[in-house]
Chain A
Amino acid sequence: MKTYLPPKFLVERDQDKCIKCEVCVNQCSFDNHYYDAEDDEMKTRTEGCVGCHRCVTFCPTGALTVRRNPLEYRDNYNWRPEYIEDIIKQAETGGVLLTGMGNDKGQRIYWDHLVLNASQVTNPSIDPLREPMELTTYLGRKPDRVELDTDLNLQTELAPQVKLEVPVMFAAMSYGAVSLNVHESLARAATEAGTLWNTGEGGLHPKLYKYGNNTIVQVASGRFGVHPEYLEVARVVEIKIGQGAKPGIGGHLPGEKVSAEVSATRMIPQGTDALSPAPQHDIYSIEDLAQLVYALKEATHYTKPVSVKIAAVHNSAAIASGMVRAGADIIVLDGLRGATGAAPKVIRDNVGIPIELALASVDTRLRQEGIRNRASIVVSGGIRNSGDVAKAIALGADAVYIGTAALIALGCRLCQQCHTGKCAWGICTTDLFLSKRVNPDIGARRLANLLRGWSLELKDMLGGMGINALESLRGNRLHLRGVGLTETELKILGVKMAGE
């Protein structure tokens, strides 16, 4: 069937600059560039360009430019090009539209409507360059009260705690979705920065066991690669119920991505689809969740916090209360903008709620019920910079996960082709040729640099507010004000309007 889809991008080549080195040919995993021997010229099939900029970045003479295809449709606010093209695609395939990364639609981003405070005159700000500033965060269940004996020794038995030097962890991205080199980069950067990375639900390659002390292992509905050693090497075990990019549905890792190494780590035969059922079939209730939480605590001898991750949905606050009562030591909320290696587009763009609202309502609810101390709250889904981190902490989060931001640090340009397995940046692929493009030495450096930069910025913001520990900002919504928000939004966020 002839496709009616117009090209998304135009690739322009300055033939004066082009030296015919064919770097573009080698770098484009979508086979768009080629050498035409007859004309002795490099050429491009522009219709296949996904806008990943790999060729532009690596062209040694800067001969390439990628532009949006200026094809103009007749103006129509309702029938925008995206919706027209989606229909064309479905008319030609009859399938569920699949996409990668996070929701790219215009739902309100509340971080952009929240502003932070700073000290002026009445209380001094602190210069983090000269004075100690603490970002240390402990994840895990905190006791209801602390008892000391007369010599001030701790009498209360503490639940297992995990110390983070920076309250930013790497979000779950499974081996199979991303490459082993990405996993290694994340593991090494997390170890260097004193934080945690998350295996996702595809198991942990034995090569990375040595980073276990900085590793969160996931137990999801597919239970891929879950065995006693996997649980043993981890620092935290996370039960994945849902994911912000695709709340309520499971996952299908296509057989093409189940390579020999992926098969060994997931412990399934090579080339078969890895199906993660939508629910975990041993969890149909909060009581069942408690059962799995404690099964994992038993399996790890009560030495590790057990985390439970859900997608942020309408009743998150009530669900979170149940999760805490079910024994979760850490609860993770993944918001509307959380990303994925593959999800139906209609679900990614339409299901779930913004993380800022979910976080505020969960934190408020747990405080009202007097159980906020029993679990740490981690949020993810659209954390773009240290400003978002600071605002999340002030809204009540203990720490955040970053997924998309981490991948951008590794080269991702958000071209949303993750589901094709052809990632030209070698990130979201298990192709051995492509995945070599992420060198773990360099990848770990880039990620650690990002965390260092954000840490310095967080300290700057804290100092500006006149506080010297992140703990003093946590859940302190008086440090936030809203801009351009309705009364209901302000009420849910629990913040005052700027000027108030």
Chain B
Amino acid sequence: MKVTETIPEETIKIDASGIYYRELNARLRELAQNGARKIELHNVYGQRYIGTNLNRPVEVTIFGTPGNDLGAFMEGPRITVYGNAQDGCGNTMNDGEIIIHGHAGDVIGLSARGGKIFVRDSVGYRAGIHMKEYQDKKPILVIGGTAQDFLGEYMAGGTLVLLGLNREGHHKAKFVGTGMHGGVIYLRGNIESYQLGKEVGVAELGEADRELLARLVGEFAAHFGYNADEILKHKFIKLFPLSLRPYGRIYAH
């Protein structure tokens, strides 16, 4: 995007209380189109689709609880949430960044093809399901706490990191990586094989894995004020797809 001197560098503040989502998003879009670079939203109470149609690298900081589909189909913005996100955060996201200082709900990062999502605490069911990648587009989802069942289901690309910083012992999520046929999941701690989809393999981290993980955990720690080295001291395992074509052999022609 072409940056000219007339672009307001100061942060634009909006009190979102009582504003319907459609109106709020229309205002955000207008501001972004007029060149706003930084927008702060205060008193956000469940407004949906924030960041969906901005399509440019604007920084949106949210205080409160954004509604479902935060950053759905998003291309470009960087959204920081001081609060919890709801379901569908980063749905089919193409590019941009979402940083959540709190928890997030179900299906976070569904079908994301690019961009980064960092969640300080835990997420709900079906996180990172059907994330995919293409050339330089590789979505990244880093979860500080725990995830529920079906983490990384149908995963076709990208990188998913589950740190489990708020728990001791094994992860509890089941059906992890069911139908996985691309991408990689790094898990801090351990998981029983019955908790994994049958399309998933388990491996030790290689050199390239450790480099990538160190970079992602470094970013995570920088966002939320953790010590990356402390997090990385712990044992990690790598979950990967056993086949790029898990269902190639079930058909008769």
Contacts and interface: CB of A to CB of B under 8 A. Distances in A.
Report the contact-size class of chain B (Cβ under 8 Å from the partner).
35 or more
Interface residues of A, number: 44
Interface string B124-140: 00100110111001000
Given A267-B137, A281-B107, A272 B156 contact: yes
Given A271-B244, A295-B49, A223 B111 contact: yes
A223 B92 contact: yes
A96 B250 CA distance: 6
Contacts of A254: 245, 248
B49 A89 contact: no
B103 interface: no
B110 A281 contact: yes
Given A273-B244, A282-B88, A267 B49 contact: no
B148 interface: no
A281 B129 contact: yes
Interface string A58-97: 0000000000000000000000000000000110111111
Given A275-B179, A291-B88, A295-B91, A95 B252 contact: yes
A219 B72 CA distance: 13
A378 to B, nearest CB: 24
Contacts of A275: 130, 154, 156, 179, 181, 247
Nearest to A98: B251
A204 to B, nearest CB: 15
B182 interface: yes
A92 B52 CA distance: 51
Given A98-B251, A228-B75, A273-B246, A267 B132 contact: yes
B195 interface: no
Interface string A6-37: 00000000000000000000000000000000
B154 A94 contact: no
Interface string B107-123: 10011010000000000
Interface in B188-231: none
B253 A98 contact: yes
Given A267-B137, A277-B130, A298-B53, A272 B72 contact: no
A89 B53 CA distance: 51
Interface of A: 89-90, 92-98, 219, 221-223, 226-228, 231, 252, 254-255, 263-264, 267-269, 271-273, 275, 277, 281-282, 291-292, 294-296, 298-302, 419-420
Interface of B: 22, 25, 29, 48-49, 52-53, 55, 68-69, 72-73, 75, 87-88, 91-92, 94, 107, 110-111, 113, 126, 129-130, 132-134, 137, 153-154, 156-157, 179, 181-182, 244-253
